[in-house]
Copies of this chain bind each other. A is one copy, B any other.
Amino acid sequence: MSELHLKNALDTLKATGVRITPQRHAILEYLINSMSHPTADEIYKSLEGKFPNMSVATVYNNLRVFREAGLVKELTYGDAASRFDFVTNDHYHMICEGCGKITDFHYPALKEVEHFASHVTGYKVNSHRLEVYGTCPDCLEQKNKQVL
């Protein structure tokens, strides 16, 4: 099924008039197969075996292309490096404050909040961002060990 995602993504790019270069193909493939919301640098490092000459700029440039095509979401974290998430269906992120792990979870889109916000502020609403922060099971276990 990741095959299908890749094919759809490539079609979307073609339709927008974007060339499919080997680098773009590889970055997309990596994003789709990755379960880990990688940073640009992680993608860069993971592909340097296949593309010893690829520049970091290429990764950034193409992530922007993908973002503008709606294929990829950028998760920004202030000073820290952005993480990139291949867009499949609507889901939210649960983020561990201990180790930084990101776990996806599904939840019916919060359209009521959008409507409410639009009504109160007079804005035309476009999208929203929701993240939940906490401690993952692994880090919880670690904490328990420390107490003993």
> A residues touching B (Cβ–Cβ < 8 Å)?
74, 76-79, 82, 92, 94, 96-97, 103, 105-107, 110, 113-114, 116-118, 120-137, 140
Q: How far is the CB of A7 from the nearest CB of chain B, in Å?
A: 30
Number of copies: 2
List chain B residues, Cβ under 8 A from A134.
117-118, 123-127
In the complex, chain B residues whose CB is within 8 Å of the CB of A132: 113-114, 117-118, 123, 125, 127-129
Q: Are A133 and B125 in contact (CB under 8 A)?
A: yes
Cβ-defined contact, A94 with B76, below 8 A? no
Instruction: Report A67 CB to chain B, min CB distance, Å.
Output: 11
**B-chain residues with CB within 8 Å of residue A94 when the two chains form the complex:** 117, 121, 123, 125
Q: A137 near B125 (CB under 8 angstroms)?
A: no
Which residues does chain B contribute within 8 Å of A110, judged by CB atoms? 110, 113, 130
Name the residue of chain B whose CB is nearest to the CB of A136.
B123
Chain B nearest CB: distance from A120 CB in Å?
A: 5
Residues of B within 8 Å of A105, CB to CB, are 116-117, 120-121
A-B contact pairs, 5 of them (CB 8 A): A94-B123, A124-B135, A126-B133, A127-B132, A129-B129
